[in-house]
Amino acid sequence: MSNVSAGTLRRRPAQRRSLERVERMLDECARLLDEVGYEALTTKEVARRAEVPIGTFYQFFPDKQGLVRALALRNLDAFLARLTARFGAAGIADWTEAVELAVDEFVAMKRTTPGFAIVDFGEIFQTPGGPPIEGTNRLLDAALENNVIVADRLRELVVDLLGAPTGPGLDRALIVAVEAADAVLKLAFRTRPGGDPDLIAECKRLLRRYLADHLPAG
């Protein structure tokens, strides 16, 4: 929960009990997003289900958007941790395999992670696969779009684990790749609740062909 505590909380949880309370509030937020959606989500209900006083909620989060921002960052941390583990377990040295695994992990989280269908890495959807709420494309950072933040975190991963060459070319390529994948995967989940498998396959194909010009062969 490093990014959550460092960048989105009003107060950093110093004790284990406080950390557990924050995690419970994030867990209940995710479940409620699946049950009632973002518009009907209330800080009062999150606090009640997490069994914390409403005053405790506001010690850590300014409002429900701040809570959802923290959840989105936790989702991004979880996604990157899953990729790191998968890359290590599979002995990934070829970026084309990494693309396959990255898309597979994102799809798996869409299907199984509570709240992820409504809020993945920042943008808030009115319904799973539905249109995003206006203005939430900059939920993670007021100055940068969510996908820029995601691309930057992925750059750290591919440089550290795959030895990709650093520089503006890689930065630009990853932003384009993230934007393209985001658009196609949104379409896949609008087309079918669990994600259209043909469109998911096309997303992988698109990324492999585009990134071939920017990342070294394994």
Confidence of residue 3 (pLDDT cuts 50, 70, 90): very low
Q: Does the pLDDT value for residue 1 go beyond 80? A: no
If you average pLDDT over residues 2-22, what whole number do you get?
65
**Per the domain annotation, does 123 fall within a domain?**
yes
Q: What is the pLDDT of residues 97-137, one digit of tens each?
A: 888 899 999 999 999 999 999 999 999 998 887 789 999 99
Considering the domain boundaries, does residue 138 fall inside one?
yes
CATH of the domain at 152: 1.10.357.10
User: pLDDT band at residue 212, thresholds of 50, 70 and 90?
Assistant: confident
Look at the chain and report how many structural domains it folds into.
1
Q: Is the predicted pLDDT of residue 57 greater than 60, yes or no?
A: yes
Indicate whether 214 pLDDT > 80.
no
In a domain, 218, yes or no: no
How many CA atoms lie less than 13 Å away from 198 in the CB half-sphere? 2
- Structural domain span for residue 93: 2-211
> CA–CA separation, 168 vs 210, rounded Å?
16
Does 153 map to a domain? yes
According to the model, what pLDDT value does residue 151 have?
94
**Looking at the domain assignment, is residue 195 inside a domain?**
yes
Any domain includes 136: yes
Q: Per the domain annotation, does 216 fall within a domain?
A: no
Per-position DSSP letters for the chain, written without gaps between them: -HHHHHHT-SS---SHHHHHHHHHHHHHHHHHHHHHTTTT--HHHHHHHHT--HHHHHHH-SSHHHHHHHHHHHHHHHHHHHHHHHHHHHT---HHHHHHHHHHHHHHHHHHSTTTTTBSSS-BBSSTTSPBPTTGGGSS-SSS-HHHHHHHHHHHHHHHHH-PPPSHHHHHHHHHHHHHHHHHHHHHHHHSTT--HHHHHHHHHHHHHHHTTTS---
Asked if residue 217 is part of any domain, the answer here is: no
Supply the pTM of this predicted model. 0.89
Confidence of residue 58 (pLDDT cuts 50, 70, 90): very high
Any idea which of 107-121, 156-170, 198-212 has the lowest mean pLDDT? 156-170
pLDDT per position as a tens digit, 59-79: 999 999 999 999 999 999 999
Q: In the numeric block, which tokens belong to residue 28?
A: 């209940």
| Segment 163-188 mean pLDDT | 91
Q: What is the pLDDT of residue 2?
A: 42
* Of the listed ranges 1-5, 15-19, 171-175, the one predicted with least confidence: 1-5
